[in-house]
Amino acid sequence: MILAIDEGTTGVTCLVIDRDGAVRGRAYSEFTQHFPRPGWVEHDAEEIWDVTRRVARVAAAHAGTGLDGLTGIGITNQRETIVVWNRRTGRPIHRALVWQDGRTADACRALKDAGHEPDVRRRTGLVIDPYFSATKLAWLLDHVPGARRRAEAGELAAGTIDTWLVWRLTGGRLHLTDPTNASRTLLYDLRAGTWDPAMLDLFGVPAAVLPEVRASSEVYGTTAGAAFEAEVPVAGIAGDQQAALYGHGCWAPGEGKNTYGTGAFLLVHTGDQPVESRHGLLTTAACGPRGERAFALEGSIFIAGAAVQWLRDALRLVENAAETEFLARSLESNDGVYLVPAFTGLGAPHWVPEARGTIVGLTRGTGRAHLARAALEAMAYGTHDVAQAMEGDAGVRLPELRVDGGATANDWMMQFQADVLGVPVRRPSMVEMTARGAAGLAGLATGFWASPEEFHAARPDETVFQPAADDAARASLLAGWRRAVAGARAWAAYAE
């Protein structure tokens, strides 16, 4: 069996998957979210490691095996979160800065104002934004006393969460990442497939701190018994969204998926050549059938399921996410209430990091059902905006949308998504496609599956949601959403 470690933004999921694609063991645990200042988001990397080890043991036990009975390990992770640690002690020098963290917005704006973005975009496929790792890494080196000097001397190591987990799993023997994670740092030459000296110089990141870039499907080494209680091949790595793309079997140009997690991420595979976006999307590394480096277009919606968490944890309007479906169904319409959940800025295709969450259309009759419905609708509208931009870049209309992630359990939201897009939405019975993708990459490297086709044949059953809304209703809903987004953008512009 293969262990898939899915290290997300709010918790760790571990799945143990057999050759038929069945989940034999599953475990999950949340970890602490730290918000030291408004717009700042941090994680304790040591806590993530402790939770990962514990959850892996529980998942293996549920599968009826020990850790030493595993064939291989695949890792998928929140991509842009950055950790810096001491190479000698293995201890982080500061809490990890999460992809949602916006503390470097001013630094990003200064780089844009200086005219660097066209060259950055040409080299990396990305825009200059706090979302990506480079400015967060530079912030750590500049704000932790002595960190920059120690990094230049080779005393510190840095990496995204996959790199951190591989380091800890192997007892500090391996410092590496894969192209899908490297391509999210603003430091990676997308076409050359290497760290870019010009970008390292621009963002002030010493090369000595960065990991080696290896293939997404490869036996890198084995876990250390003292760290993991067993010696198991670590054989697959992909950032969460590329892992989900791979898990869906989207290996050919034009095939795409959307993952609804803390954020929502729509990717369309573009084959072995990168496609430059003209509509505010990102060009990023992806995986070919055997995990080889390929490319995709991506649109990132920063807040999706996190809006429902906000309703639950901050406002206490619902006790659990499932309650939102009942509340949404209790209304015949949204009554003009829209939520733009720009809690950490607007992502693709808008890219307004200064934007903040906005609710419009409130009346005395507005209740918690309207806010719950607005949070669900916002996921669908954001997906529509990205899909529309993607179709403009690719020159074709998506024939369907493959989906995964926790929010897809909500049938009302999936039907609404189909209505807003006007195309079928295809949901697998196994919604944890990020973990499935990581398992597939590790399974191919270890020979667990003989071919990509054998892995794909072990895919789960699917439910298809057909669009039911007419064109006039769809246009009216989207017009209201565009007005709401304009309001959020106007708020950000006024603040400047």
Task: State pLDDT tens for residues 33-61.
Answer: 999 998 899 999 999 999 999 999 999 99
Q: What pLDDT was estimated at residue 88?
A: 95
Residue 166, domain member (yes or no): yes
The answer to whether residue 109 is domain-embedded is yes
pLDDT attached to residue 288: 94
For residue 396, pLDDT over 70 is answered with no
Distance CA 142, CA 149 (A): 9
What pLDDT shows up at residue 276?
86
pLDDT at 278 over 80: yes
Asked if residue 215 has pLDDT above 70, the reply is yes
User: Is 144 part of a structural domain of the chain?
Assistant: yes
- Residue 205 scores a pLDDT above 80: yes
288: closest CA among 452, 439, 73, 126?
Answer: 452
Which stretches within 170-237 are classed as H helix?
179-182, 197-203, 225-228
Number of structural domains, the chain?
Answer: 1
pLDDT band at residue 113 using 50, 70 and 90 as cut-offs: very high
pLDDT in tens, 49-99: 999 999 999 999 999 988 999 999 999 999 999 999 999 999 999 999 999
Only one residue has tokens 């291989």, namely: 72
Residue 275: predicted pLDDT: 87
How many angstroms separate the CA atoms of 239 and 438, rounded?
9
Would you say residue 353 lies in a domain? no
Q: Is the pLDDT of residue 496 over 60?
A: no
> What integer is the mean pLDDT of 375-396?
89
**Average pLDDT value over all residues in the chain:** 93
Q: Ramachandran region of residue 408, left (φ > 0), alpha (ψ -120 to 50) or beta?
A: alpha
- pLDDT value of residue 248: 92
Does the structure show a pLDDT above 60 at 464?
Answer: yes
pLDDT given at position 349: 86
Find the CATH number of the domain harbouring 49. Answer: 3.30.420.40
* pLDDT single digits (tens) 145-176: 999 999 999 999 999 999 999 999 999 999 99
Strand, helix or coil for residue 252: coil
pLDDT class of 432 with cuts at 50, 70, 90: confident
267 lies in some domain: no
Domain assignment of residue 384, yes or no? no
Candidates 214, 113, 224; CA nearest to 165 is 224
Residue 19 lies in a domain: yes
Domain of 19 in residue numbering reads as 2-241
Q: Tell me the pLDDT tens digit for each residue of 397-415.
A: 788 899 998 899 999 999 9
DSSP state of 427: E
Asked if residue 350 has pLDDT above 90, the reply is no
CA distance 73 to 236: 7
Q: Is residue 141 part of a domain?
A: yes
